[in-house]
Structure 1
Amino acid sequence: MSASAHAPEDAPARKRSVVRSLLRLWPYVRPVRVRLFTAAGVAIVAAGMSLVFPLVLGWIVDGPIADGDTGGVLAGGLLLLVVGLAEALLFGFRRWLVARPLAGVEAAMRADIYRHVQRLPVAFHDRWPSGQLLSRATGDLTQLRMFLAFPLTFLVVNATMIVVGCGLLLHQDRVLGLVVIAPVIPLIVVCLVFERHYSVASRRSQDQIGDLTTVVEESVLGIRIIKGFGRHRSQARAFRELSQRLRSTELRKSRLLGAIMAVIYGLPEFFLGGALVLGVLRVADGSITAGTLVAFMAVALALRWPVESMGFLLALCNEAATATDRYFEVMDEPLPADDPPSPAAGAAARAAAASPGPGAAGGMRFENVTFRFPDAPPGTPPVLDGIDLHIRPGETMALVGGTGSGKTTLINLVPRLHEVTSGRITLDGEDIAALSRAQVRQRVAVAFEEPTLFSATVRENVLMGAEEAGSREFARALRVSQADDFVAALPAGPETQVGEQGMSLSGGQRQRLALARAVVGRPPFLVLDDPLSALDVHTEARVEAALREVLADTTALVVAHRPSTVLLADRVALLSGGRIAAVGTHNELLNSSDEYRYLLTGETRGALVR
Structure 2
Amino acid sequence: MKSYLRPYVPRLVFIWLITLLGIGTGIALPLIGKEVVDGPVARGEAAGLLPLGLLALGVGALEALLTFLRRRTLIGPVLGLETRIRDDLYRHLQRLPMAFHNGWQSGQLLSRATTDLSTIRRFLGFGMLFLVMNMLQLTVVTLVLLNMYWPLGLLVAASAVPITLVSLRFEKKYIRISRRVQDEQGDLATLVEESAIGIRTIKAFGRRHHVFDTYDVAALKVHGTSMDKVRLSSRFFTFLEMIPNSTLALVLLLGALAVGAGELSLGTLVAFTTLMLQLVWPIASLGFILAMAQEAMTSADRVMEVMDTVPSIQDGPHAADRPRGHLRFEGIEFRFPGAKTPVLSDLWLEVRPGETVAIVGATGSGKTTLTALVPRLLDPTRGRVTIDGRDIRDLELSSLRRIVATAFEEPTLFSMSVRENLTLGSHDASEEELEQAIRTAQAQFVHELPWGLDTRIGEQGMSLSGGQRQRLALARAVLSKPRVLVLDDTLSALDVETEALVEEALRQVLRDATGIVVAHRASTVLLADKVALLRGGTITHVGTHQRLLEEVPEYRELLAQDADLDPTEGALR
**TM-score when scaled to structure 2?**
0.94
Structure 1 residues 219-228 or 69-78, which shifts more?
Answer: 69-78
Match of 1:545 in 2: 504
Match of 1:425 in 2: 385
Change (3 A) 1:234 1:81: farther
Structure 1 residue 111, shift from structure 2 partner: 0.7
Q: Determine whether 1:448 maps to 2:411.
A: no
Structure 1 residues 433-442 or 400-409, which shifts more?
Answer: 433-442
In structure 1, give the amino acid aligned to 2:13. F
Determine the C-alpha separation between the residues in 1 that align with 2:137 and 2:290.
16
Match of 1:567 in 2: 526
Check whether the contact 1:205–1:249 (CA below 8 A) recurs between aligned residues. yes
Structure 1 residues 77-86 or 563-572, which shifts more?
Answer: 77-86
Determine the C-alpha separation between the residues in 1 that align with 2:281 and 2:20.
14
Q: Determine whether 1:364 maps to 2:323.
A: no
Q: Determine whether 1:532 maps to 2:491.
A: yes
Residue deviations 1:457-504, cap 9 Å, x none? 2122111232232222211111110112x1221222222212221122
Residue deviations 1:394-443, cap 9 Å, x none? 11111111111111001000110000100111112221122122222111
Match of 1:6 in 2: none
Check whether the contact 2:96–2:313 (CA below 8 A) recurs between aligned residues. no
Check whether the contact 2:487–2:517 (CA below 8 A) recurs between aligned residues. yes
Structure 1 residues 86-95 or 75-84, which shifts more?
Answer: 75-84
Determine the C-alpha separation between the residues in 1 that align with 2:79 and 2:124.
10
**TM-score when scaled to structure 1?**
0.89
Change (3 A) 1:512 1:362: closer
SS at structure 1 position matched to 2:520: coil
In structure 2, give the amino acid aligned to 1:470. S
After superposition, where does 1:307-318 map in structure 2 within 5 Å?
307-318=283-294
Q: Determine whether 1:151 maps to 2:127.
A: yes
Determine the C-alpha separation between the residues in 2 that align with 1:492 and 1:220.
26
In the alignment, which of 376, 379, 400 is matched to residue 338 of structure 2?
Answer: 376
Check whether the contact 1:473–1:521 (CA below 8 A) recurs between aligned residues. no
In structure 2, give the amino acid aligned to 1:451. P
Match of 2:13 in 1: 37
In structure 2, give the amino acid aligned to 1:286. G
Match of 1:167 in 2: 143
Structure 1 residues 45-54 or 315-324, which shifts more?
Answer: 45-54
Match of 1:403 in 2: 363
Match of 1:94 in 2: 70
Structure 1 residue 78, shift from structure 2 partner: 4.3
Residue deviations 1:30-71, cap 9 Å, x none? 111221221222123223333223212222221222122334
Structure 1 residues 48-57 or 116-125, which shifts more?
Answer: 48-57
Determine the C-alpha separation between the residues in 2 that align with 1:84 and 1:495.
59
Q: Determine whether 1:602 maps to 2:523.
A: no
Match of 1:305 in 2: 281
Check whether the contact 2:406–2:477 (CA below 8 A) recurs between aligned residues. yes
Structure 1 residue 92, shift from structure 2 partner: 1.3
Structure 1 residue 532, shift from structure 2 partner: 0.6
Q: Determine whether 1:294 maps to 2:270.
A: yes
Check whether the contact 1:182–1:271 (CA below 8 A) recurs between aligned residues. no
Structure 1 residue 338, shift from structure 2 partner: 3.3
Determine the C-alpha separation between the residues in 1 that align with 2:525 and 2:210.
42
In the alignment, which of 218, 222, 240 is matched to residue 246 of structure 1?
Answer: 222
Match of 1:19 in 2: none
In structure 2, give the amino acid aligned to 1:474. L
Identity %: 50
SS at structure 2 position matched to 1:498: coil
Determine the C-alpha separation between the residues in 1 that align with 2:454 and 2:189.
32
Match of 2:205 in 1: 229
In structure 2, give the amino acid aligned to 1:600. L
Change (3 A) 1:71 1:246: farther
Structure 1 residue 208, shift from structure 2 partner: 1.3
Determine the C-alpha separation between the residues in 1 that align with 2:17 and 2:191.
45
After superposition, where does 1:178-197 map in structure 2 within 5 Å?
178-197=154-173
Q: Determine whether 1:219 maps to 2:195.
A: yes
Match of 1:393 in 2: 353
Determine the C-alpha separation between the residues in 1 that align with 2:38 and 2:562.
109
Match of 2:570 in 1: none
Determine the C-alpha separation between the residues in 1 that align with 2:386 and 2:26.
73
Match of 1:504 in 2: 463
Determine the C-alpha separation between the residues in 2 that align with 1:174 and 1:197.
36
Structure 1 residue 603, shift from structure 2 partner: 9.3
In the alignment, which of 507, 515, 535 is matched to residue 556 of structure 1?
Answer: 515
For structure 1, the residue ranges without an aligned partner over 5 or more in a row are 1-24, 351-360
Check whether the contact 1:362–1:429 (CA below 8 A) recurs between aligned residues. no
For structure 2, the residue ranges without an aligned partner over 5 or more in a row are 568-573
Determine the C-alpha separation between the residues in 2 that align with 1:208 and 1:73.
61
Match of 1:203 in 2: 179
Match of 1:132 in 2: 108
In structure 2, give the amino acid aligned to 1:445. A
In the alignment, which of 439, 452, 472 is matched to residue 399 of structure 2?
Answer: 439
Q: Determine whether 1:177 maps to 2:169.
A: no
Change (3 A) 1:362 1:83: closer
Determine the C-alpha separation between the residues in 2 that align with 1:229 and 1:429.
51
In structure 2, give the amino acid aligned to 1:383. V
Check whether the contact 1:548–1:568 (CA below 8 A) recurs between aligned residues. yes
Check whether the contact 2:325–2:513 (CA below 8 A) recurs between aligned residues. no
Q: Determine whether 1:494 maps to 2:457.
A: no
Determine the C-alpha separation between the residues in 1 that align with 2:16 and 2:121.
15
Structure 1 residue 587, shift from structure 2 partner: 2.0
Match of 1:358 in 2: none
In structure 2, give the amino acid aligned to 1:370. E
Check whether the contact 1:454–1:461 (CA below 8 A) recurs between aligned residues. yes
SS at structure 2 position matched to 1:465: coil
Check whether the contact 2:407–2:490 (CA below 8 A) recurs between aligned residues. yes
SS at structure 2 position matched to 1:394: coil
Structure 1 residue 125, shift from structure 2 partner: 0.2
Determine the C-alpha separation between the residues in 2 that align with 1:588 and 1:288.
111
Match of 2:541 in 1: 582
In structure 2, give the amino acid aligned to 1:310. L
